[in-house]
Amino acid sequence: MTEDEWLAVQSQVIALCSILPSMPLRDFVDGINRAEAIGPILDPTLWVKACSRMEEIKSGAECLLHAQDELRRKLPKLFETGK
């Protein structure tokens, strides 16, 4: 890894650590779960078209939720109001 690559990754990690705590990921995943329950009933055609993409988004959000939980455990000050 070059120095430029290192610095780029470091900047991205800092950015993610500042953004991730404020993301309402649990509510987002819960909303997808509700959509999965009712979507096929309300509009089966649209559901078939959107289902695979929504599943990818849900999986990504769940991964980020786990990362958020780890950040909360290891760096709780990031989650304090006003930080």
pLDDT at position 83 over 50: no
When pLDDT is averaged across residues 4-12 and rounded to a whole number, the result is 94
Q: What is the pLDDT of residue 8?
A: 95
Single-letter code of the amino acid located at 25: L
When pLDDT is averaged across residues 46-65 and rounded to a whole number, the result is 91
How many other CB atoms are found less than 10 A from the CB of residue 76? 11
Q: What is the pLDDT of residue 47?
A: 86
Q: How many domains does the chain have?
A: 1
pLDDT at position 20 over 80: yes
Distances (CA, A) of 8 to 14, 20, 51: 10, 18, 34
Quote the domain boundaries for residue 44.
3-79
